[in-house]
A and B are shown apart, each in its own frame.
Chain A
């Protein structure tokens, strides 16, 4: 009895080792630079892709602009996920990549902890029943530009700005911190920041989604770098990101998919 058990377990172990060895023989590791706002989403997508293919993907997270600078200065990445399409276009223009694709579309949301923006955001904005409205810097961040467009469409931007009501974050995450900590009574944030399972305001506050036609789409572009030494593997990863399984994950985190 004991002997049989031993034999079985030994056989199982051997089988496991040989499977692992064959997997290792084919498995390759790729490194992809990811815009910081996409961190949690891509980790889940990456895990799904690794489970399916047996390859490894490592991520390097950072602000899109910093990652771009690193790539332009020879960083050994295989791919790049930007938070906008302007920066991917720069890499395409300079020949670092052949082309880029849109992997997600950001959705702008107006968040307030106390004010009922879910019911009458338009009135609140128009009447100015608040002290500060947080948004990202329109010059620096796509979400900031979108927020400005939403306000301009209603003819409110100049007035709020001149009254000193608009507080700007360097990035959308700062704008979110302003609103989430209550320093600003309401703020234009990314829907993904509200939907994140670990978001500090997940179960709190009110949300209004401005009509998507009120602002230019916040498209996020990704690309394969021509310097990659594993082009097939990266292409496979990119294809997976554009597939149905990944789209479900991406939508779950508050993004629209193309």
Chain B
């Protein structure tokens, strides 16, 4: 649990977070436009700027109280910086050793050194100078270095910003598995909704140096005015896992994880090749644009995924357009964007049962 109210003035920029509180377990995304104060809040929370004022508690530890602050070097934070922040005078091995030598013996998650090296794939690079690493390699080393220091909290500041798309995709995978498998509470700065939808459990929205609100990802996606929605409109993010279809091992399906006690898993047929199957939980991203509604199941149509759903509520998204929020059998949310006319013609209203026709769904790998 983080609880605080921090302020920090940097040149013309003023951070005045206002009171905030959020659980630390899982992944917390700090989301906002550039200049909204995400990085400043993270620096203030890490104790990296001694001009920070206000209060901050981590569980029952006081990290900041007025001018008094617990030194950053005693907060047990593992930070992955935007530009990796490697020690240029040391090798890859030397960078790891620096963190390892200073890691506490008696606290924090003890992750096996070899496992970290294997998972981040830096084994072959150990004796290289950090000057010769690619952008992706630098960030992988940064992640390994942060993990090896046995952090209680992982802080990640837009680590993908400076990378090309391929390195980005690889690193996102790495983050997802590392965060999930090692279970270290993580605060992630990003301005990409996709990264939030894929990784976050909750979102801290920031604007103009203030914490606007803290919401679970589910709640954040459950309103038409969500800052996470871009020009492509509302989006739903479903939690589940991927498995091969019996009899057809080359084809995959996505099986959701029920969110209510009496919920039933919902199954999506995936067009994806069987080779890309991965371990653990996955998220499925479904755009409202790609979801059509019908009164009942329709035969003789190319859409494979026809899911029973209940209309939760209907909201206006723009001129002539409405978002229909649906609850699936597993208790998870799906959203469909339809025209006013369709709503009127079909007589749609909250509480009705409908069939959601899903044109396509993207697996957030």
- Direct A/B contact, Cβ within 8 angstroms: no
Residues of B near any A CB (own CB < 8 A): none
